Amino acid sequence: MKKKASPPARSGRFAQAPAAAVTAFTESVSFDWRLWKQDLLGSMVHATMLSKLGVLTPAEHKAIVRGLEAIGRDIAAGRFTWRPELEDVHMNIEAELTRRVPAGAKLHTGRSRNDQVALDLRLWLREELAAQQAALRRLQTALVDLAERHVGVILPGYTHLQRAQPVSLAHHLLAYVEMFERDHARLGDCFARVNVCPLGAGALAGSTLPLDRELVARLLGFVDQQGRPRVCQNSMDAVSDRDFAVEFCAAAALIAVHLSRLAEDLVLWSSSEFGFIRLADAFTTGSSLMPQKRNPDVAELTRGKAGRVIGNLTALLTLLKGLPMTYNRDLQEDKERVFDTADTVRACVEVTAAMLGQVTVNATACAAAAADPALLATDLAEYLVRRGVPFRQAHHAVGLAVAAAEKAGKRLDQLSLAELQAIHCAFAGDVLEVFRPDRVLQRRELVGAPGPQQVRRQLARWRKVLKAATVKA
Ligand code: ARG
């Protein structure tokens, strides 16, 4: 058995070891072990900078880097023993390094866990942001694929969950592509503020040693577009700032909210009441009691998990509210919120993309739902507008026509010209043109409207954007 390490943060000052319950209560290694790669990288670069300062000899520098690399191999292979009594990932790695390499005792020169943990979390988030963006691209691609496979499908668009006006399925799906595009951009904006190096801030007041913060920043890739190093400009802010984590959780919460709306559409559309789509067997589950059921659990869970992601954002904001300067142990609570947000949202994005890939569309059911001529009441009013009738009058006249049809037990397009003209004299012989199903969407070719040309143009635009994104990635 290995010799039990004494917690370095307690050496010297403390006569008594913490109670087991306190160790269990205060440890964070059970979750922050996930920062091990970032911690190793930060330490290697810090060691390089210390060797440039002359704090480490070249031999010590080399031994430390080798030692850290070996620890990395052990962790990756599952051979590393994490010790809760050493509190966190930082102390576990440093203690093990020092056990293997005596010069490890010099590594923490000019550094505190306060700037170290801020660094690790920023490094971790940098990678996570890129992974989230890539996942969003896959989801957008799945939406565009589905839209293209069913480009001719018409279905009702809804307001107040009441049938409103006909749109195309592709147009509806592309609305989500737009949302996820803004989410993608928000993650990019967040990256700019994550990508600033806190190292050198020390515990809160920097160091009396002439640390080269810019060298560290450059070596860790904390640079702007021109390659200039970006370091936190206030040591107190550097160790207490978690805005970047809040921003990530906020952007992620919005992704989760968008996903929950898409999930709700899929739940509704796959119900017997709508019957617009069928989810693949692989993405539905049965009931333990009712043999006929095919439940959209994957979509429902995606909808439900938005609650937890929003909760994480709220928890993080509440954690920071009223927190005195600078580092306080409360901040240890940030990591689980960030990790859970990242894991949950990424899983939701991936599973939704996969589910969309196997959706079957019932074009006939969609068309039947969109075929009610009442959905063209607005078009009928605009027909009158084109004939010089003020819109308010036209709206009123068509309202009367809808009521008359209802009363006569007819569809709106079954009223005779005489009946229409009795309501408004501007109705003429060409009025039935309004109801021609092949014209319904063709009339809507404004930018951003569901006309077939517009939708094809949008699909082509997204294809280009998404293709460029995959080439870049
Ligand atoms: N485990 C701590 C955290 O996650 C690391 C920083 C601890 N710093 C301290 N002064 N106790 O926040």
160 is catalytic: yes
Residue 2 belongs to some domain of the structure: no
Q: Look at residue 470 and tell me whether its pLDDT is greater than 90.
A: no
123 lies in the same domain as 162 = yes
Confidence of residue 1 (pLDDT cuts 50, 70, 90): very low
46 lies in the same domain as 69 = yes
Cβ–ligand 1 distance for 332 under 6 Å, the answer yes
Which tens digit of pLDDT belongs to each residue from 76-131? Answer: 999 999 999 999 999 999 999 999 999 999 999 999 999 999 999 999 999 999 99
Q: Look at residue 2 and tell me whether its pLDDT is greater than 60.
A: no
423 lies in the same domain as 353 = no
Q: Which residues does 382 contact at the CB level (< 8 Å), separation at least 6?
A: 394
Which of 352, 368, 384 finishes a domain?
368
Which tens digit of pLDDT belongs to each residue from 343-354? Answer: 999 999 999 999
Nearest residue to 459 via CA among 134, 133, 178, 135: 178
157 lies in the same domain as 69 = no
Which pLDDT belongs to residue 293? 85
Atom of ligand 1 nearest to the CA of 90: 5
168 is catalytic: no
382 lies in the same domain as 452 = yes
Cβ–ligand 1 distance for 114 under 6 Å, the answer yes
Cβ–ligand 1 distance for 247 under 6 Å, the answer no
356 lies in the same domain as 455 = no
How far is 293 from 443, CA to CA, in rounded Å?
41
Q: What are the tokens at 225? A: 């577009």
Which pLDDT belongs to residue 12? 80
24 lies in the same domain as 66 = yes
pLDDT above 70 covers a percentage of the chain that reads: 98
Atom of ligand 1 nearest to the CA of 89: 1
Q: Look at residue 213 and tell me whether its pLDDT is greater than 50.
A: yes
Residue whose CA lies nearest to ligand 1 atom number 7:
113
- How many whole angstroms from 321 Cα to the centroid of ligand 1? 18
How, if at all, do strands 162-168 and 277-278 pair? unpaired
Q: What is the CATH number of the domain that holds 447?
A: 1.10.40.30
Which pLDDT belongs to residue 290? 87
Which tens digit of pLDDT belongs to each residue from 141-191? Answer: 999 999 999 999 999 999 999 999 999 999 999 999 999 999 999 999 999
Cβ–ligand 1 distance for 310 under 6 Å, the answer no
The alpha carbon of 209 is separated from its chain's Cα centroid by a whole number of angstroms, namely 41
Which pLDDT belongs to residue 438? 83
Which of 30, 271, 287, 416 is catalytic? The answer is: 287
Which of 342, 368, 394 finishes a domain?
368
Q: Look at phi and psi of residue 110 and say left if phi exceeds 0, alpha if psi is from -120 to 50, else beta.
A: left
